[in-house]
Amino acid sequence: SIWRDNSDEAFGRIKEMLKHRRRHLHIALDLEYLASGSTDVKFRPVSAMEWYGHLQDFVNNGQVVQLGMAFAVQPLPGEPSVPVAAYEINFQIDLEHGDFNSAGVEFLKKQGHNLLMHQKLGILPQIVYAGLLCHLPFGQSDVTWLAYNGDRDIAFILRLLQYGGSGIQLPSRQGTFGYQMRQQFPKYFDVRVLAQLVKPGWNGKLTTLATEEYLNVDRIGGEHFAGSDALLTMSCFAKILKVAQRERIRARTGLLSGVEELHLSIRCSRGIFASDIVRMEIHRKNFDQESNLISQLMSCNFDILGIQVIVPGQCSGHVNQHYQSIKSHIRGVTKFDVQMGFMNSEGRLGFGRVWLFHLDIEPGETRVHPQRLAALLASTGATHVDTTTFLAYRGAYGMEVLLQSFIHPGELPVHSCYYATTLSTWFPTLYDISLLAGVCPGVVCTGNETALAQVAACLGVDSDECEVVTTLRCYLKIRGRIGSLQMTGLTRQLE
């Protein structure tokens, strides 16, 4: 337990440990806090907007009492495992002049917290920031952050990280808050969300999850003490890793308990093999409305995008796929359609729908300019990042059409090698199902061209009238047979 008198030594020990780590690090967080007297602590939001409004009120006017952190350093091969280290930082609070929720104060006292000791020996937030928080590996991709029911925990940490721990207000916009969270916690799991993989619909307490009925994990220390809860969060996460499928865990990356169940993109999602998937046509008049929905998908891990470019009079695979031939052929293409569906790694389709964008490079009253689609995809974090997987079927022609429209009025590069660089900049992780099928066991190709329906039949997948849906279904089956690692060598190769 860290108080004012031993904070320099304890913070130094943590910083020294972090300085010498050489492998992946897991950090579990837990906070104990007090709401202000004016905050309705019993309020239960029914929408994401209400959730964020209540989170702002709670965190902007509340105060941290304890910050617990558990550190687990992954050892190098051949090295002995390093014991998990847990710390509990006690903040200074002013009970005499602070306006705190009386029920919250009594609750912490009943749990055994000595709040008068916090008033006399607690550490100021600015000292915690300068002594430790600014040295922690926020924003680093080789760190996995964990919390349990962590929306308030993460929000309080984000406040502490602003202006040297002075604690400015949370952003007014929920989208800005989400962006800040992803910047500071690029790999985050809420163990309460992951617990749904142990028991569907789980919304219970951390202590209950740890019992013999569920994970059978022992607690060290007292309940509702931040160090003990952080350590138990780490132990529960380690147990879930052993019993849950990796792709199902990945589908819950970055989801905050409290808002996760309110996101319509998740609540209205459909399994990719469902028969009630909706196709939504996009024109100028409804582009903005549907864009608001699409903008929610990447933050909810719908980051596997099936894409089909439909050019009037052009069928997939009917054009010589040589780069220069395609480049010459598409010079006169102005009108075309793009069909897209956003799936997560668990096989759920965001909002249960596929979008069909009607595009036109030339100004018009009904169709959308392709650069508006390009801006939408970039603003949501779909393009220019290798964490998004794009999938096409025999997509060489279509992707050239799409990329040409995105950079219009510029021209595609002269040589195919430069085009490959441009393509990889926009779509770093792009696969062609036709090529993946060629290395997949059990897929027998006949003739010079393999129809998507034939691939689907070999994989035991029902073809859908929507090519994007069939493409996504085939991808799930192929990934299950050959694994993601074997697919890596086929990135950005198109037929």
Q: How many domains does the chain have?
A: 2
User: What mean pLDDT, rounded, does the chain reach?
Assistant: 90
DSSP string computed for 214-258: TT-----S-TT-HHHHHHHHHHHHHHHHHHS-HHHHHTTTTPPTT
* Cβ–Cβ < 8 Å for 371, 405: yes
CATH code of the domain in which 313 resides: 3.30.420.10
> For residue 56, with 0-12 CB atoms within 10 Å meaning exposed, 13-18 middle and 19 or more buried, which class applies?
middle
Q: Which residue has the higher pLDDT, 112 or 320?
A: 112
Which range marks the domain in which residue 459 is found? 263-490
Among 59, 115, 61, 60, smallest CA distance to 92 is for 115
Specify the pLDDT at position 76: 73
For 253, other C-beta atoms within 10 Å of its C-beta total 20
* Per-residue pLDDT tens over the stretch 81-109: 778 999 999 999 998 888 999 999 999 99
231 and 285: one domain? no
Specify the pLDDT at position 198: 94
25 and 158: one domain? yes
DSSP string computed for 402-467: HHHHHHTTS---SSHHHHHHHHHHH-SSEEEHHHHHHTSTT----SSS--HHHHHHHHT----SSH
Chosen domain end from 260, 279, 299: 260
256 and 270: one domain? no
User: What sign does the CA torsion over 194, 197, 203, 204 have?
Assistant: negative
Confidence of residue 167 (pLDDT cuts 50, 70, 90): low
Q: Answer whether 0.95 is exceeded by the pTM.
A: no
Average pLDDT over residues 340-352: 96
Average pLDDT over residues 274-279: 95
d(CA 217, CA 149): 18
Specify the pLDDT at position 48: 86
Specify the pLDDT at position 296: 86
248 and 286: one domain? no
Chosen domain end from 236, 260, 284: 260
pLDDT value at 494 more than 50: yes
Confidence of residue 482 (pLDDT cuts 50, 70, 90): confident
Q: Which residue has the higher pLDDT, 187 or 490?
A: 187
Give the C-alpha distances (Å, rounded to integers) separating 72 from 211, 225, 235, 459.
Answer: 22, 19, 10, 41
Q: In what order do the strands lie in the sheet with 63-73?
A: 85-90, 63-73, 25-34, 143-147, 188-190
Average pLDDT over residues 13-38: 92
395 and 469: one domain? yes
Average pLDDT over residues 116-143: 95
Q: Which residue has the higher pLDDT, 97 or 70?
A: 70
Coil, strand, or helix at residue 178? helix
Q: Identify whether 495 is part of a domain.
A: no
Q: Identify whether 245 is part of a domain.
A: yes
Q: Identify whether 163 is part of a domain.
A: yes
Average pLDDT over residues 393-416: 88
239 and 300: one domain? no
Pick the range with the lowest mean pLDDT from 31-35, 170-174, 359-363, 409-413.
Answer: 409-413
Average pLDDT over residues 342-362: 96
344 and 221: one domain? no
d(CA 273, CA 304): 15
Which ranges constitute the DSSP H helices of 20-97?
48-61
233 and 270: one domain? no
Q: Which residues of 346-370 are buried (b: 16+ CB within 10 A; e: fewer)?
A: bbbbbbbbbbbbbbbbeeeeebbbb
pLDDT value at 150 more than 90: yes
59 and 202: one domain? yes
Chosen domain end from 206, 230, 260: 260
Specify the pLDDT at position 58: 95
Q: Identify whether 59 is part of a domain.
A: yes
Specify the pLDDT at position 492: 61
pLDDT value at 317 more than 50: no
255 and 335: one domain? no
* Per-residue pLDDT tens over the stretch 47-63: 888 999 999 999 999 99
The pair of structure tokens assigned to 263 is 């996101």
292 and 236: one domain? no
pLDDT value at 318 more than 80: no
Confidence of residue 280 (pLDDT cuts 50, 70, 90): very high
Give the C-alpha distances (Å, rounded to integers) separating 275 from 95, 302, 352, 473.
Answer: 59, 19, 10, 12
